[in-house]
Amino acid sequence: MTLAAAASTTSTGEAVQFWILATVAVIGALGTILMRKAVHSALCLAGTMIVLAIFYLANGAYFLGVVQIVVYTGAIMMLFLFVVMLVGVTAADSLKETLKGQRWLAALCGLGFGILLCAGIGNASLKSFNGLGQANSGGNVEGLAALIFTKYVFAFEITGALLITAAVGAMVLTHRERTERALSQREQSERRVRGGKQVPPLPAPGVYARHNAVDIPGLLPDGTPSELTVSATLRGRGQVRDVSGEALADLAALEQRSARWLGRDAKGGKGAKDPKGADRREGGGGADQAGDPGDDPAGAGHPEDSKGVAK
Amino acid sequence: MNPVNYLYLSALLFTIGAAGVLIRRNAIVLFMCVELMLNACNLAFVTFSRMHGNLDGQIIAFFTMVVAAAEVVVGLAIIVTVFRSRHSASVDDASLMKL
């Protein structure tokens, strides 16, 4: 196997790979601690972990390289992302220093620690090395399995106990004990009627048949957007799109275009085209505007309004 | 290239992770920095395994991964619980163990 032979001498290819990917890994690590939003930090860390998986493969640890991708980037980082979503993506770190000069002192400590580590490695005599060719000769996974189930079998058993404990611990921590009885559906509906606000379901978002996206508020009979139709989260973020003016602008553009079209046609066959064009314009404008005034007498409340539009 | 370079990279990543733990205040990012430090250690273990020509280092790295996975599960559960009661993931706010 060429890989086993190459493991005792590092090739030029591995050196090139190392210098390129090491740069990526360090940039990812720096991004993890410097990005303000937790999501960006998590993504940077995932990149670093993938690079580390490639380094494991290059170092002859084939099993660990695959496990790194499956367990770390596949499970642990996704768990991180789940929690970031639970806790709130928009919760950016405040940059205000609570302790004066703490950040510079921390950076200084880090620098000193790094110099210490590097000096330690530099002073060790690590000029020659044995590759993994011998150890990996029977296959990397087989070698690891032989060690785990003989020399390290006790640690392996303990690991099982640790995982069970962690799973139970996570369930206990996130479990919330219910202190009062759950309300029945009848009690909930009675409470809602007694509260006197919004008894039927909330009106649907969307305007006409063209914009039914959730971030577009439905229009009230007088043409103003209704706050109730858009979710409170979008309202809070200020991501509500208002297209009530857009329809009028579209209509104006249509009228202008058809007027120009008719004007050009007036030179040729005016008698044949004119009624059709006028009819189309009339019909389009009528359909656009008919939705609101038509519902005006019937739909004083919001749900009726949206229902009328849907019809 | 000597594989010692992997050790230097591992030391660098460990240092960056440690500095991140000191600098950041968001509990989730703090936790990610700890993960980075664990990963740096794993890289050192795998490199040592290659330099010494036996697989024990890889076994230790494997156990580190298992322990890290268990730690992440419990740690994130704690963060979620703290966030539920305080509505903040900042470690500065959690100065008391109970409300």
Write out pLDDT tens, residues B2-59. Answer: 888 999 999 999 999 999 999 888 888 999 999 999 999 999 999 999 988 889 999 9
Query: Which pLDDT score, from 0 to 100, does residue A215 have?
Result: 81
d(CA B43, CA B9): 9
* Interface contact B46-A117, CB threshold 8 A: no
Query: Which pLDDT score, from 0 to 100, does residue A207 have?
Result: 66
Cα angle, residue B44 at apex, residues B39 and B47 outer, rounded to 5°: 125
**Which long-range contacts link A259-262 to residues 24+ away (Cβ below 8 Å)?**
none
Query: Which pLDDT score, from 0 to 100, does residue A304 have?
Result: 40
Query: Which pLDDT score, from 0 to 100, does residue A239 have?
Result: 80
With a CB cutoff of 8 Å and minimum separation 6, the contacts of B59 are: A144, A147, A148, A152
Query: Which pLDDT score, from 0 to 100, does residue B94 have?
Result: 67
Q: Please tell me the class of the B4-86 domain.
A: mainly alpha
Considering only CB atoms, B74 lies closest to which of A134, A143, A170, namely A170
* DSSP notation for A167-236: HHHHHHHH-----SPPPPHHHHHHHHHHHTS--SPPPPP-BTTTB--TTSPPBPTTSPBPGGGS-HHHHH
* Interface contact B26-A132, CB threshold 8 A: no
Interface test with A, best of B62, B79, B85, B93 (most A CBs within 10 A): B62
Whole-model pTM: value is 0.70
Structure tokens at A70: 């499956």
d(CA A260, CA A272): 16
Alpha helices per DSSP H over chain A: 2-6, 12-34, 38-58, 62-67, 77-87, 102-123, 140-148, 153-174, 185-195, 232-237, 244-265, 270-295, 302-310
Chain A nearest C-alpha distance from B11 (Å): 6
Q: Is A241 helix (H, G, I), strand (E, B) or coil?
A: coil
* Interface contact A93-B29, CB threshold 8 A: yes
Structure tokens at B29: 């990012």
Structure tokens at A234: 């979008």
Considering only CB atoms, B81 lies closest to which of A72, A126, A174, namely A174
Identify all chain B residues contacting A78, using CB atoms and an 8 Å cutoff. Answer: none
- A80 phi, psi to nearest 5 deg: -60, -45
d(CA B13, CA A306): 57
B92 pLDDT band, cuts 50/70/90, is: confident
* Interface contact B15-A114, CB threshold 8 A: yes
Query: Which pLDDT score, from 0 to 100, does residue A216 have?
Result: 81
Identify all chain B residues contacting A163, using CB atoms and an 8 Å cutoff. Answer: 66, 69-70
The dihedral through the CA atoms of A239, A245, A251, A256 has a sign that is negative
Interface test with B, best of A59, A113, A123, A149 (most B CBs within 10 A): A59
User: To the nearest 10°, the Cα dihedral for A45, A48, A52, A55?
Assistant: 180
d(CA A200, CA A214): 19
Residue of B nearest to A165 (CA): B70
Chain A nearest C-alpha distance from B26 (Å): 6
The tens-digit pLDDT sequence of chain A (311 residues) is 444 444 456 788 889 999 999 999 999 999 999 988 888 999 999 999 999 999 999 988 999 999 999 998 888 999 999 888 888 765 556 666 777 888 889 999 999 999 999 999 888 877 777 777 777 888 889 999 999 999 999 999 999 999 999 999 999 988 888 888 888 999 988 888 898 877 888 887 776 656 777 788 887 877 777 888 888 888 888 788 777 677 778 888 998 898 888 886 555 444 444 444 444 444 444 444 444 443 444 334 444 444 444 43
Give CATH 1.20.120.1200 domain extents, chain A.
1-91
Q: Is B98 helix (H, G, I), strand (E, B) or coil?
A: coil
Residue of B nearest to A15 (CA): B1
With a CB cutoff of 8 Å and minimum separation 6, the contacts of A293 are: A221
d(CA A200, CA A187): 16
* Residues B19, A109 contacting (CB under 8 angstroms): yes
Query: Which pLDDT score, from 0 to 100, does residue A9 have?
Result: 60
Domain ranges of chain B: 4-86
The CATH code of the domain at A1-91 is: 1.20.120.1200
Query: Which pLDDT score, from 0 to 100, does residue B99 have?
Result: 54
* Interface contact B23-A106, CB threshold 8 A: yes
With a CB cutoff of 8 Å and minimum separation 6, the contacts of A107 are: B19, B23
